[in-house]
Amino acid sequence: MAEAASYDVVIIGGGPGGYNAAIRAGQLGMKVACVEMRDTLGGTCLNVGCMPSKALLHASELFEVAAKEFPKLGIEVGAPKLNLAQMMGQKAESVSALTKGIEFLFKKNKVEWIKGRGRITGPGSVEVAAADGSTSTLSAKNILIATGSEPTPLPGVAFEDGKVVDSTGALSLPAVPKKLIVVGAGIIGLELGSVWRRLGAEVTVVEFLDRITPGMDAEVAKTFQRSLTKQGMTFKLGTKVTGAKTGKDGVELTLEPAAGGAAETLKGDVVLVAIGRRPYVEGLGLETVGIEPDKRGFIANDHFRTNAGGVWVIGDVTHGPMLAHKAEEDGVAAIELIAGKAGHVDYDLVPSVVYTAPEVAWVGKTEEQLKEAGVAYKAGKFPFTANSRAKINHETDGFVKVLADAATDRILGVHILGPQAGEMIGEACVAMAFGGASEDIARVCHPHPTRSEAVRQAAMGVEGWTMQA
């Protein structure tokens, strides 16, 4: 066998964490290789996650706008007709362009992409098994694990192509199901459920907890659920799925109340299981360097260092929010630490976004978290019904809520349910990163008429001087 190629860092995984880490390593002059088992770079996010889902969310939203909003605006073009094959085709084109963009960035930053499945075989050693069965060995001063996560299966409910699907399958259904059952009222389930509802499916969401979107501020979640219900989604909360039977005419789920009680059945054409994600650690060879994931599969880290010297971990496969942008921050910080710089990520400032319509975005603490911690706080709220731009655009569902320390006025959390919430949350992230107060946002001139004025008005509300509601 040929002598192992030698690198400053070998990254296992080419998703948002891995590819951004590779680019940063290249910028810092390291000799870097990124091992990726897919045929394309970008990991789950670009290939079967964030990007294709946003392509379908955007297209389905426009489809619904054309059907329901155009006539109200005086635009008469007739009923829109769905061409699902074309919708899927444009999604694939966009994804392909993005993955090719990463290949270009790798070349630009002298990152070597090694195609195949990476496995640690000992300290400083990574074996790569290519699709043709050949293997090669890489020698590395540092190994960075960035293998991400995969959908969590539901016990008693086996996946079956086209009938019982995970998020990947739900992105490529060949036809609009008449009845779609979504198991799990988290972000992924609600986003994909909203896509197929807009395209004509009757959507029922089954959730074990007595609320949707765990982790979201409870008041926001309640209002969000009301909005989705108004749009036509049905929710069965506090309900456990105990089994599934597939047949020619679809899928029959067996349900029970989570608190105990009589079982019932629910029939659908397609079932989407979206109960969360779990770290992908299969076949990684962690045992060869003495790393043992916890019972949920997560690899522990201390500033991205594992317990094995020279082995680092980032993204979904370690602790913290399972979000692409968190993985990206992790990747940059880990590489900068390897380079002797001061890499750091503040997980309290990692925003979350639900890309439905209306969108939901938040950063920092919820009211429930502040109450539980015994923190005295003030809240300012502003509804989009009172925002000029939202009113003109007929996008008045939702509100902005700003939470600030009662004594210092430092912003502790910002929660937005409404149009373009994901774009607006960045302002809160910046303000909080600099230790800003609610008054800092309230005193900064915002352009008029924009949705962002709702953030300013909510900040004014912390001290009780909201002016436009």
Say how far apart CA 170 and CA 301 lie, in whole Å: 33
Q: Which tokens hold the place of 97?
A: 């362009």
Choice among 303, 344, 394, 448 that is catalytic? 448
CA 339, 344, 346: angle at the middle one, nearest 5?
A: 165
Distances, alpha carbon 196 to alpha carbons 47, 58, 63, 152, in Å? 19, 12, 11, 21
Tell which residue, 299, 351, 297, 287, has the closest CA to residue 324. 351
Beta strand pairing call for 264-268 and 250-257: antiparallel
Question: In sequence order, what are the residues at sequence separation of 6 or more whose Cβ sits closer than 8 angstroms to the Cβ of residue 381?
Answer: 399, 400, 401, 402, 458, 461
Instruction: Indicate the angle between helix axes 421-433 and 453-462, nearest 10 degrees.
Output: 50
Say how far apart CA 427 and CA 433 lie, in whole Å: 10
Cβ count within 10 A of residue 21: 34
Please say whether the beta carbons of 150 and 127 come within 8 A.
Answer: no
Distances, alpha carbon 247 to alpha carbons 164, 266, 353, in Å? 11, 13, 36
Tell which residue, 99, 97, 118, has the closest CA to residue 39. 99
Q: Which tokens hold the place of 274?
A: 């979206």
346: helix, strand or coil: coil
Say how far apart CA 145 and CA 80 lie, in whole Å: 46
448 is catalytic: yes
Helix and strand element counts for the chain (H, E): 13, 22
- DSSP E strands in 189-248: the ranges are 202-206, 234-236, 239-247
Please say whether the beta carbons of 263 and 256 come within 8 A.
Answer: yes
Give catalytic residue positions: 448
